[in-house]
Amino acid sequence: SSGLKERLQELMPAQQEALKNFKKEHGSKIVDKVTIDQLVGGARSIKCMLWETSLLDPLEGIRFRGYTIPELQKKLPNYSGKPGDEPMPEGLFWLLLTGEIPTKAQVDSLTADLHSRAKLPAHVEPMIRGFPKGMHPMTQLSSAILALQTESVFASEYAKGTSKTKYWEHTYEDMLNLLARLPEVCALIYRCTYFDGKVAPYDSSLDYSGNFCKMLGHDDPAFMELMRLYIVIHSDHEGGNASAHTCHLVGSTLSDPYLSLSACMNALAGPLHGLANQEVLGWLLGLQAQLKEQGKDVTPETITEFAWETLKAGKVIPGYGHAVLRKTDPRYTSQREFALKHLPHDPLFKLVNTVYEVMPGVLTEHGKTKNPYPNVDSHSGVLLKYYGFHHYDFYTVLFGIGRAYGVLAQLFWDRALGLPLERPKSVTSEWLNNFIKNN
């Protein structure tokens, strides 16, 4: 064992006690008010959920257990041991769960634990191989996670009548098994959708990300570094985003982690959320193709023109704007820095940079979006494409692997803290009209 489970078992009683006492002492204090705009407008920024693993500041961006992305890059163990290399997702997972920065030895033993759990149940591979051509990779991923649910420890122990005090333990087993099995599932989807269906053998001498890249068919160590960064920065973005919230909501019914994660992936698959990263690359390639056809150069002026065409066609600029953030997403910045280090002369990176120079101005002039700056999805495709990973309708699957790390860590604490069924109140328009008459 990696010692992670034992550490969590040590940490849990104090956390459970603290929350109980905090509720007892402060339970009736008011932390927020709700306007009708918020009620109608997607509950934007209403504080109504407990989420321990990360917190988002509109100006500064995300902190994972209090650490910014540059801090994680310094403090979390990396694969090579060389300063400046990217943090390993296994280390981030330890941090998200415990709030503590793990040692390299702890991270390595967690990697080994994950490798030991990776074998897929026999029915999943033939199912993926049998999916119809053209089924979106996110639909395949969500379905495959559901198919893995036959192995849920939580579901089988619940059926046997397990005690509430054991939910955390069954959730722990499920989340590790699930994370361990995602690389082969995703590699199968990738190789069957775009290639001949042959998947490289599992390599447990590598870390999680290294083996995953190898199974995808990408052996370049620089691509493995990118994957480590990619999984880390996509893991968690506090609880209110659609994918994280979905996992938390579905889990609150005591649906097991497989059912919860599959639901989470369905939310991530929407174009306003995780699918935006595939849309961004499509938009950039469309821009390149149109300018080439018209014999024009890529300049701030021609990009501006193309952006206005998109906006006038009633579409959004993918990769820009955010429901919470009001500045450039630090997840964008970290990918930009990766590009400056590894692919400074790539033409598509240069294009992304020029888009970054002009787009905030265009969106400000357009005057609708509250945040004219780029989000995480604006940059990832360029990096992946540089390493020959150009099947862009697969990009959200990679986001999904990252997101699984964050939402499962929180799901563990949901069950460990005994958080209840989530059930906000809805009202009708008639109710609202009566409310206005009477107030």
State yes or no: residue 170 binds ligand CMX (CB under 6 A).
no
Nearer to ligand CMX by Cβ, of 245 and 273: the residue is 273
State yes or no: residue 318 binds ligand CMX (CB under 6 A).
yes
Q: Which of residues 332-371 bind ligand CMX (CB under 6 A)?
A: 368-371
State yes or no: residue 47 binds ligand CMX (CB under 6 A).
no
Among 322, 336, 385, 403, binds ligand CMX (CB under 6 A): 322
Q: How far apart are CA 239 and CA 241, in angstroms?
A: 6
Phi, psi of 62 (to 5 degrees): -80, 145
State yes or no: residue 319 binds ligand CMX (CB under 6 A).
yes
State yes or no: residue 411 binds ligand CMX (CB under 6 A).
no
Nearest position to ligand CMX, beta carbon:
321
377 is catalytic: yes
Which is the catalytic residue, given 236, 322, 379, 414? 322
Which is the catalytic residue, given 170, 273, 379, 414? 273
Report CA Rg, the chain: 22
Listing DSSP states for 378-399 in one string gives HHHHHHHHHTT---GGGHHHHH
Q: How far apart are CA 145 and CA 124, in angstroms?
A: 9
State yes or no: residue 236 binds ligand CMX (CB under 6 A).
no
Q: Which two tokens stand for residue 310?
A: 């998109």
Beta bridge partners of 78: 87
Q: Which two tokens stand for residue 166?
A: 């054991």
Task: Quickly count helices (H) and strands (E) in the chain.
Answer: 20, 2
Which is the catalytic residue, given 174, 236, 329, 377? 377
State yes or no: residue 287 binds ligand CMX (CB under 6 A).
no
Binding piece for ligand CMX, criterion CB under 6 A, among 210-218, 283-291, 372-380, 413-421: 372-380
Nearest distance from residue 219's CB to ligand CMX, in Å? 28
State yes or no: residue 162 binds ligand CMX (CB under 6 A).
no
Whether the CB-CB separation of 278 and 286 falls below 8 Å is answered with: no
Nearer to ligand CMX by Cβ, of 285 and 311: the residue is 311
In the DSSP assignment, the letter for residue 57 is: E
Whether the CB-CB separation of 325 and 377 falls below 8 Å is answered with: no
Other CB atoms within 10 Å distance of the CB of residue 99: 15
Among 89, 137, 274, 400, binds ligand CMX (CB under 6 A): 274
Sign of CA dihedral 37, 42, 44, 49: positive
State yes or no: residue 142 binds ligand CMX (CB under 6 A).
no
234 is catalytic: no
Chain contacts with ligand CMX (rule: CB under 6 A)? 241, 272-274, 276, 311, 316-323, 368-371, 375-377
Residues known to be catalytic: 273, 322, 377
